[in-house]
Amino acid sequence: MALGTESSGSNTAPDSTRAPSAGLGLAVALLTGVAVTLALAVYSKTHDPARRPLFTLGFSGMLPMKAWLTTAAAVLLLVQLTTALWMWGRLPGAGRAPGWTAPVHRWSGTVAFVLTLPVAFHCIWALGFASSDSRVLVHSLAGCVFYGAYAAKMLGLRTKKLPGWALPVLGSAVLLSLVVLWLSASLWFFTRTDIPKF
């Protein structure tokens, strides 16, 4: 709409039409997240796992590679959490966020996501969805939820007029699922003495 064409009385109609579209946008983001989660779970469960790594990126094996990449991604998501709190004025004692926090927030999230891709590929392709014990089942579920939450958050970022709670909740789902992934696999790996650590 061109500048100067809006009258003071025209603000109510666009707002009333935007509210349903915002709700629709949020619903689409959430349903996409659920679809991604289910697709990954179904594929990794029905796929016949290869039981071998395709690559290890210089690590001695698949487990060290997965543990270290997930750890690096988790650290970067903590950077994301800190910068998000700072940008929203919720970081106690930090004052106003400087201009560099937004790029750091975006790039730390991008790099964290890229670091998870080799891990996810090997989890799905080499190992599949496993439920041999509760730790492994929780890890498999959290991995699927992580990518569903990430898809929902990315769509949410591009949806106009979301409710104020939506992005923090979607971002928290991404962070929480990665923390559960790290606790259920990387922490287990680092506390084992019978597996090479690099």
Cβ-based neighbours of 157, under 8 Å, separated by 6 or more: 167
Q: What is the residue whose two structure tokens read 């992580």?
A: 146
Q: Tell me the three state secondary structure of residue 162.
A: coil
Q: How far apart are CA 47 and CA 50, in angstroms?
A: 9
Q: Tell me the three state secondary structure of residue 132.
A: coil
The answer, yes or no, to whether residue 19 has pLDDT greater than 60, is no
What's residue 20's pLDDT? 56
Q: How far apart are CA 189 and CA 63, in angstroms?
A: 8
What's residue 10's pLDDT? 41
Name the DSSP class of 164.
T
Inter-residue contact 62 to 122 (CB < 8 Å)? yes
> 99 — phi, psi (to 5°)?
-65, -25
What's residue 12's pLDDT? 43
pLDDT one-digit tens code per residue, 118-150: 999 999 999 999 888 999 999 999 999 999 999
Cβ-based neighbours of 161, under 8 Å, separated by 6 or more: 18, 19, 21, 22, 25
Q: Cα angle at 186 between 32 and 188, to 5 degrees?
A: 125
